[in-house]
Amino acid sequence: MRIAVIGTGYVGLVTGVSLSEIGHHITCIDVNEDKVAKMQNGISPIYEPGLSELMTKNINEKRLSFTTDHQEGLQQAEIVYIAVGTPENIDGSADLSFVAQAAKDIAGNVEHNIIVVTKSTVPVGTNDMIKDIIQTHLPNGLMVEVVSNPEFLKEGSAIHDSFHGDRIVIGADSEHAFSIIEQVNQPFGVPIFKTDIKSAEMIKYASNAFLATKISFINEISNICELLGANIENVSTGMGLDQRIGSQFLKAGIGYGGSCFPKDTKALIQIAGNVEYEFELLKGVVNVNKKQQGILISKLNDCLPVISGKKIAVLGLSFKPNTDDMRESASILVTEELIKQGAKVVAYDPIAMENAKSILNPLVQYADSIEDAVENSDAALILTDWSEIKNVELAVFNKMKKPLVIDGRNCFALKAMENNGIDYHSIGRPVSAKLIEAAPI
């Protein structure tokens, strides 16, 4: 089928590329000329494993193209995907101006009946709004149908997830739209769940809010474990064996970041508020996350009462491994606070340093390797569990003034750190120095 995708951010680009890979003819439309020029040459604007390779393959096989011209992209399309951003307004609600503009662009450029599929994360009721805008601006006699088809991809494994997701949700209100969009998605081989449009819109927010809740819950349990001397890794494993709970998203750490959970949790609080429902539980989830992002600073302050003038290594900057995405990463808050307290901050990340330079405080310095970052430092903070960090030779920490590692991602076994004489503080686990003291001789 001929499909246009409006917006080539993370969701739009991955959607366009995967749809081309299963045989559809895709034109991706974006207003950014530089970006489009790069993508036409197979260069991905984001770091996502496997994405550039699939882009190049499908461009060469003539199923994937990019344009800034709405008319060129939309004229031939039988289906249009809206995948533009829905950034956070100051009050936490979703800004729908890009979605509304996409709807007007569709109406102004199509010359036949059209199915519009919304991939952007939009509040319940937005697809009705999109339908109204398009129908009002469409030439007489043409019809539009709208479908909600929310996105559940995880950054860093988005291509894999496209072909191995748990479900594809299709929200529609006509058999015609269901059957066309089902046909489009069939080749992915992923189970399809069909529902009404509003429920589909809600499934996206409810899923992200639930996963965020799991993370904030386990983070609070980890804080209590620390106070009681239990080990969160054992607790998570034991909990996750109960299939009603499930083992995923029970990894304690420094809170969730990224482009979805922070934004979508706040938006759902707003959506509920608009119908005069106070989502108390979710407000708690958001507050816990805010506190958890600062937990490494509290731990550092306990270990080193004065950090002014000290060299602090920060290892890992992206909000999670295998991405260069810095959005809502705890590294923003952590580096800002370190600088505020007068530390000399030397950061290292395998992929995200270029992005970080335009986001973090300009006083943050960047190292070429883990070794350079930790050399002669007074403490090393671990913020992202990149495999390069998890697999580093522990001897590297002997280059510090005195090995003090504060790990927000539980990258290392306590015993290994203890054996290497490293004062090691992690999340929800005993402190290795205490283990050293308590160990039988």
Residues at the contact surface with ligand UDX, assessed by CB under 6 A: 151-155, 208, 211, 215, 249-251, 253, 256-258, 260-261, 319-320
The tokens of 107 are what? 């109406």
| 290 labelled ligand-binding | no
Q: How far is the CB of 423 from ligand UDX (least distance, A)?
A: 24
Question: Quick one: DSSP state of residue 94?
Answer: B
Is 303 tagged catalytic?
A: no
Q: Which is nearer to ligand UDX, 149 or 341 (CB)?
A: 149
Q: Tell whether residue 57 is among the known ligand binding residues.
A: no
Structure tokens at 395: 């001897």
In the complex with ligand UDX, which residue's Cβ is closer, 224 or 363? 224
Which amino acid, one-letter code, is at 363?
A: L
* Site of tokens 């005993």: 430
Q: Which of 28, 225, 260, 411 is catalytic?
A: 260
Output 66 or 319, the one with its CB closest to ligand UDX.
319
Q: Return the number of the residue (15 or 377) whose C-beta is nearest ligand UDX.
A: 15
Q: Which amino acid is at 175?
A: E
Q: Which residue is nearest to ligand UDX (CB)?
A: 260
Look up residue 195 and give its two tokens: 């529902």
Given the complex with ligand UDX, which of 104 and 154 has the nearer CB atom?
154
DSSP letter string, 300-336: HHHH-S--TT-EEEEE--SSSTT----TT-HHHHHHH
CB of 155: closest distance to ligand UDX in angstroms? Answer: 3
Residue 252 annotated as binding site: yes
Residue 208 C-beta: closest distance to ligand UDX, Å = 6
Shortest Å distance, C-beta 61 to ligand UDX:
28
Rounded to a whole number of angstroms, the minimum distance from the CB of residue 237 to ligand UDX is 12
74 is in an annotated binding site: no
Contact 69, 97 (CB under 8 A): no
Residue 408 marked as a ligand binder = no
In the chain the first and final C-alpha atoms are separated, in Å, by 71
Residue 176 contacts residue 145 (beta carbons within 8 Å): yes
Residues 6+ apart with CB under 8 A from 314: 331, 334, 335, 338, 345, 346, 347, 348, 364, 373, 380, 381, 383
Q: What three-state secondary structure class fits 110?
A: coil
Using alpha carbons only, give the angle 78, 69, 17 rounded to the nearest 5 degrees. 60
Per-residue CA distances from 133 to 80, 84, 103, 242, 335 (Å)? 15, 16, 6, 47, 44
Nearer to ligand UDX, 58 or 293 (CB): 293
CB of 144 to ligand UDX, least distance (A): 26
Q: Looking at beta carbons only, is 42 or 428 nearer to ligand UDX?
A: 428
Helices and strands: H and E segment counts in the chain? 19, 14
* Cβ 315 to ligand UDX shortest distance, Å: 15
The answer to whether residues 94 and 86 touch, using CB atoms and an 8 Å cutoff, is yes
Which pairs count as long-range contacts for 51-56, CB under 8 Å and 24+ apart, including other chains? 51/13, 51/14, 51/17, 51/158, 51/159, 54/17, 54/18, 54/20, 54/21, 54/159, 55/17
Please name the helix (run of DSSP H) or strand (run of DSSP E) that holds residue 404, with its range, or none.
Answer: strand 404-407
Q: Give the whole-angstrom CA distance, residue 123 versus residue 95.
A: 10
Residues annotated as binding site for substrate? 152-155, 204, 249-253, 257, 320
Residues belonging to the binding site are 30, 35, 86, 121, 152-155, 204, 249-253, 257, 263, 320, 327
Catalytic residue annotation: 260
Task: State the binding site for NAD(+).
Answer: 30, 35, 86, 121, 155, 263, 327
